[in-house]
Amino acid sequence: MSKLKTISFILLLSAALFSACSNVQNETVWPPVLPASNEKGVASLSTPDLLTMPSEVRHILDSARHITLSVATEAPLVELVYHNELPNAALNGVGWSSWGDICLASNGKVYSGTGNHWYTDKGETYVYSWDPSAKEIKKIADVNKLTAAADDEIHFSKVHAPIFEGRDKKIYFTGTLDDGDKGGSKPILDKWSTNIPGGKLFQYDPASGKTIVYADFPPARVTATSVYDPNRNFLYCELEGDPRGVSFGVFDMGKKEWVFQTEPGVVSHHRNLMLDKSGNVYFNGVQDTLSVSEYQAHQEKQKGKTTSMLPADQIDRIRRLPLTEIWKYDPETGTVSPTKSKTLGGFRASTHESKSGFIYGTTMAGELFRYSPSADELTLLGSNFLDKGEYITVCVLSPDEKYMYYLPGAHGSAGFSGTPVIQYDITSGKQKALAFLSGPMSNAFNYSPGGTYGVKISKDGSTLYIGLNGSVAGSAKPKQHEAGFGLTSFAIVHIPAKERAGK
């Protein structure tokens, strides 16, 4: 071999080894270092660029003059930290992702989760605690380590149902599968065992730092949707896994017993439960397929006014999302029954009941709503964002109940509109963007936030805590990760006082 060929061979071999090492590192070292972060991995951002409306949003507003969106005049301070100490980059398509609502505990700490969205035998799921006083995130639970899952047993890959604080001040959460609906079908059915017969409810004790398995779900059943009533100490769940459909279940936290469960198929669009002040629980029930004219009449009745014929894209949505009855569970009688309220596709996100007696939220069809439990009256309030509405999975009322906060585009589409943080004025019905996170975060942190399933607000209304899905920006993003997924984070948005003064 000539000297020149030898040198070329060595260079090619070195390049191949470097590439292999890089791939190994990409698999084993995750997340990447957050640019501009401190020794605890936390980075801060405060720039007027947070108030720059993306051109795509401006174009829509200019084209549809019947909608408005104002922008704050003072930029918030934003802090960001990645969910850390992950064993690999989860190069499986979705990668690391966060699907459930977060918990703001009475001690001020915030709890959130991430999972690798992998198969039942490769699932990895972790829960974290954010300490606002120490400004530090810490992994507190490895879900599949807690179950001691063997290689051939179920490995949970998500924390989808909300994390919550119990009446005992301990933190509770549960893991689920990539698709909980298939939990009772083959081949998943064969992976349940006497050790892991179904989903599990975990209990974390902030005082001792220990986590235990608190209770089991019914065999081959998991949940992505729940709500906790601290007054009765009941956990309400939409139970997935039966091939015949989703059922509604009630778990007595004190007795550690499932005290009520409907037949499968009672629940449709199982992604949200509403709880009123009396302890009644509302869910998406029976669906009807309506004609366009029937739906048009229904909308006119709900909005209390006559509307013109729906445009073609709205008609298409009607065909895809049937009219859904809202059903109610009464804990006093232990029965479920339909209410007189219906909405397109059912509801997707909701707040607690306000002092004035209303629950606010957003529907599957992208409309804001107000619901009066006492009158069983549902009022549609218009699009939740821009002209067609967006997919919004979580919303919160401010402590003074002047505002509702939410982030449009939960399932990866938030980046199109700049990942806006929206403040909705309850009295005026106006929407204001407190920030557009996408561009500034991409520039400062090489991070593209893709949407959220978890939002909470501080007791004084000054701070929003947000569990973000996202991805590494630009060419650094692993090709195996879908846009908007693969790198989960926890964000803290400090709302300027003037932007929540109510003027």
| Euclidean distance between CA atoms 185 and 177, whole angstroms | 13
Determine contact, residues 165/199, Cβ cutoff 8 Å: no
State in words which class domain 101-261 has.
mainly beta
| Euclidean distance between CA atoms 279 and 297, whole angstroms | 32
| Euclidean distance between CA atoms 110 and 112, whole angstroms | 7
Confidence of residue 295 (pLDDT cuts 50, 70, 90): low
pTM confidence score: 0.91
What percent of the chain is predicted at pLDDT more than 90?
A: 82
Confidence of residue 220 (pLDDT cuts 50, 70, 90): very high
Mean residue pLDDT across the chain: 91
Averaged pLDDT for residues 266-289: 93
Number of C-beta neighbours around residue 332 at 10 A: 8
**What is the pLDDT at residue 17?**
39
User: Sign of dihedral through CA atoms 308, 311, 317, 322?
Assistant: positive
Is pLDDT at 6 greater than 80 in this prediction?
A: no
What percent of the chain is predicted at pLDDT more than 70?
A: 87
pLDDT per residue as tens digits for the range 378-388: 999 999 999 98
**What is the pLDDT at residue 281?**
98
Is pLDDT at 22 greater than 50 in this prediction?
A: no
Determine contact, residues 438/449, Cβ cutoff 8 Å: yes
| Euclidean distance between CA atoms 82 and 163, whole angstroms | 18
One DSSP character per residue, 72-119 reads -SSPPEEEEEE---BSS---SSS-BB--S--EE-TTS-EEEEEE----
Is pLDDT at 28 greater than 90 in this prediction?
A: no
Determine contact, residues 418/386, Cβ cutoff 8 Å: no
| Euclidean distance between CA atoms 220 and 190, whole angstroms | 10
**What is the pLDDT at residue 438?**
97
**Residue 37 structure tokens:** 């972060």
Q: What is the distance, to the nearest Å, from the Cα of residue 442 to the centroid of all Cα atoms in its chain? A: 21
Chain position carrying tokens 């080894």: 17
- Out of 100-114, 227-241, 334-348, least confident range: 334-348
- Which of 490, 491, 483 lies closest to 95 in space, CA to CA? 483
**Residue 47 structure tokens:** 């720039």
Is pLDDT at 410 greater than 50 in this prediction?
A: yes
Q: What single letter denotes the amino acid at residue 436?
A: F
**What is the pLDDT at residue 308?**
46
User: Sign of dihedral through CA atoms 301, 307, 309, 310?
Assistant: negative
Averaged pLDDT for residues 331-337: 96
Confidence of residue 4 (pLDDT cuts 50, 70, 90): very low
Sequence-distant (6+) residues with CB within 8 A of 295 are: 310, 318, 323, 344
Is pLDDT at 5 greater than 50 in this prediction?
A: no
**What is the pLDDT at residue 26?**
45
One DSSP character per residue, 215-262 reads EEPSTT-EEEEEEEETTTTEEEEEEE--TT-BEEEEEETTTTEEEEEP
**What is the pLDDT at residue 29?**
80
**What is the pLDDT at residue 20?**
38
Chain position carrying tokens 């930290």: 81
Which stretch of DSSP H or E encloses residue 59? helix 55-63
Is pLDDT at 70 greater than 80 in this prediction?
A: yes
**What is the pLDDT at residue 344?**
86
Determine contact, residues 268/346, Cβ cutoff 8 Å: yes
Domain parsing of the chain, residue ranges: 101-261
pLDDT per residue as tens digits for the range 149-205: 999 999 999 999 999 999 999 999 999 999 999 999 999 999 999 999 999 999 999
Question: Residue-wise over 402-441: b if at least 16 C-beta within 10 A, else e?
Answer: bbbbbbbbbbbbbbbbbbbbbbbebeeeebbbbbbbbbbb
Confidence of residue 64 (pLDDT cuts 50, 70, 90): confident
Confidence of residue 65 (pLDDT cuts 50, 70, 90): confident
φ, ψ (nearest 5 deg) of residue 15? -65, -40
pLDDT per residue as tens digits for the range 110-138: 999 999 999 898 999 999 999 999 999 99
Bridge partner residues of 65 (DSSP): none
**Residue 447 structure tokens:** 């991070």
3-class secondary-structure state, position 370: strand
pLDDT per residue as tens digits for the range 340-399: 999 988 999 999 999 999 999 999 999 999 999 999 999 999 999 999 899 999 999 999
**Residue 486 structure tokens:** 């693969």
Alpha helices in 119-237 (DSSP H): 143-147
